[in-house]
Amino acid sequence: MAYPRQPLFAPHGAVTTSQPLAAAVGLAVLRRGGNAVDAALATAIALTVLQPPSNDIGGDLFAIVWDGERLHGLNAAGRSPAALTREMVLTATGRRAAEPVDALGGAQACGPAMPARGWLPVTVPGAPAGWRDLHDRFGSVPFADLFTDAVGYAEHGYPVAAGTAATWARGVAGHAGLVGEEYAEFARVFTVDGRAPRPGERWRNPDAARTLRRIAETGAEDFYRGSIAEALDGHAARTGGLITGDDLARHTSTWVDPVSVRYRGHEVWELPPPGQGVAALLALHILDGLDLAALGPEEWLHRQVEAMKLGFADAHAHVADPERAPVPTAALLDPGYAAARRSLVTDRAGDPVAGDPERGGTVYLCAADAGGMMVSLIQSTYQAFGSHVVLPGYGFALQNRGTGFRLDPDHPNVVAPAKRPFHTIIPGFLTRDGAPVGPFGVMGGHMQPQGHVQLVSAALDGGLGPQAALDAPRWYWHAGRTLLVEPELAAEPGLVAGLRARGHEVAVAEEPSVFGYGQAIWRLESGGYAAGTESRVDGAALGY
């Protein structure tokens, strides 16, 4: 498989994301005089219509913004319903309270024991409030203007992109067998005669158009305290859901300070927990202490994998909602702790467990403007169509982010009322000596920190620009010693044999979605931007 894309070079601004029509929406905002946040928001809002298997109005959002002088982080994730308890989940899933569940098992305990579909994993959608809050702080054009294209696509329809159609088909197949009144609306909204729309087939969602208009006209107030909130409250009450109007009314986004580690003379930035960005930072911190020049390609890849395993082990053990549990973020990113973890990387594939640093499925986009503002934004309902619960008459699915909770009562991420779960979606940003290089991200659940590590390494160790760094062949680790590689890596002489000799169980994966979908924009020293988009999906990088 070849990835023939060339980078985009733009003198003024750029937008890049996984759906070309959405990228065009953001570019149009830039050309009309909007800034990078305006463009990112218009793109994100359009993506709920243009790529609904991966994100929707009922999802969450995280963002990093370079305002021209410094970085800002927004956690626009929702919390669990106030009525949700661990005991309720155990009863609903047929477990006994005394039964050991969801044992941590280090980085290998990647599959949460929470149910993935239906009402139990539904958390309050944070995306509409996130759109409003980003706009209130940084936006320069009227909020309602950012919805125009999304409403038009929802109301009049559009031909579905090929990559989106493939994801859509997998989501519809996953819906088969889901029985209950809470699932009744899904087929009416998201299927065509019971199937997913085919590539190029026109699809409309007029109910979503009406919902987006209400959000636009009320600054998202209607979603949390108005007619949409009332409809959601009523639907949950009728069909066994726990979310209430009070849960929606209590929702708030949280402004946070991004966290970073040094890597090859740069600063790599992620958002703090409850996201898994610290897993990528931990891995990069470990790798930064290794002499790349002394390592061959196979040994370097092996050490990347082992560092990533250690990063996941710590993230899965310690990451939780910092408002509800102590999270040792600073200790995890301490150079001394990274050195101690680095010493655990050997010549053999390992099965790492979490350390003790101190005792006691998604769309991604980035945008940049002529004034130097840059945005890294990620938005998701999780898995394909989230919970598969669709609010009748409103045209959107609710996320299933609650499946990221644990059922282990001693884990900091244990399911509890009004709590944010462990989040997989993570925006990234790169600086050098405090000056911006640019936003980047790779979406795809458990792949995301691995994609961040591989993209940053390709850029900083390999000297590649954003497009070439995205096109570089990838590997993926999920659990145990199984390691998936793309065909291009398998074709490198001796690479697979060398990895197998170290104990990795290597398999070649032909399905590109396994390896995530990424975007990146770098600032050019001479002015303007270089942008890259994912070659494995319907991505587009557009600029002017």
The token pair that represents 229 in the structure block: 């909130």
Q: What angle do CA 505, 510, 515 make, to 5 degrees?
A: 75
- Nearest Cα to Cα of residue 357 among 304, 311, 413, 409: 311
Q: Are 59 and 380 in contact (CB under 8 A)?
A: yes
Other Cβ atoms within 10 Å of 225 Cβ, number: 15
Count of helix runs (H) and strand runs (E) in the chain: 19, 19
Q: How many CB atoms lie within 10 A of CB 318?
A: 24
At residue 408's C-alpha, the angle toward residues 402 and 414, to 5°, is: 40
Judge whether 43 counts as a catalytic residue.
Answer: no
Rounded to whole angstroms, the Cα distance separating 515 from 451 reads 8
Pick the closest to residue 63 from 75, 47, 46 (CA basis). 75
Strands 254-256 and 71-76, by their bridges, are: antiparallel
Alpha-carbon distance of 413 to 405, in angstroms, equals 6
Q: Which of 123, 167, 211, 362 is catalytic?
A: 362
82 CB neighbour count, 10 Å cutoff: 16
Distance CA 250, CA 233 (A): 13
Q: Which pairing describes strands 505-508 and 482-485: parallel, antiparallel, or unpaired?
A: parallel
| Residues belonging to the active site | 362
